[in-house]
A = this chain, B = another copy of it.
Amino acid sequence: MFSEIMRKILDGTAGGVGAVLMGYDGIAIEEYFKPCEGVDLHLIAVEYANVLKEIKKTAEILQTGIMEEVSVKTERFQVVIRTITDDYFVALTLAQGGNFGKARYLLKLETQSLREALA
């Protein structure tokens, strides 16, 4: 169930190189990575899990409401992350020039299906 949804998100996004459904503890439930030279996409997801925990905490302290989406753009990649439940998130990694808007759209669209699949 997860795998179908994750594949749909990754394949539907031009420039998508990796999709992972992961806990904030850095342990992945499902992951797909396309070969990508000189970079460990799994490691990127694990490292971002740590940062996300910080952002989540910050949002709660500041009372700005639940964290819904985070994106980080570096020179080589763009990572779009969507909160699924209090324990899990999906991260989609795009290569430079990938379709950021489509990534956000698909992640938002599939949030509910992923939530149901996790329940």
Question: Which of B50, B64, B69 is in CB contact (< 8 Å) with A76?
Answer: B64
Secondary structure at the A interface, as helix, strand, loop or mixed, is: mixed
A68 to B38, CA, bound (A): 20
A71 to B, closest residue via Cβ: B71
Q: How many copies of the polypeptide does the oligomer hold? A: 2
A47 to B63, CA, bound (A): 12
A119 to B103, CA, bound (A): 36
- How many Å from the CB of A27 to the closest CB on chain B? 18
- Chain A, interface size category, equals 20 to 34
A5 to B74, CA, bound (A): 24
A59 to B, closest residue via Cβ: B74
> For residue A62, which residues in chain B have a CB less than 8 angstroms away from its CB?
39-40, 43-44, 47
Question: By the criterion CB–CB under 8 Å, are A70 and B67 in contact?
Answer: no
Question: Which of B58, B71, B72 is in CB contact (< 8 Å) with A59?
Answer: B72
Q: Considering residues A43, A72, A75, A76, which has the most beta carbons from chain B within 10 angstroms of its beta carbon?
A: A72
Chain A to chain B: the 7 pairs with minimum beta-carbon distance, closest first: A65-B75, A69-B73, A65-B76, A64-B74, A65-B74, A59-B74, A68-B73
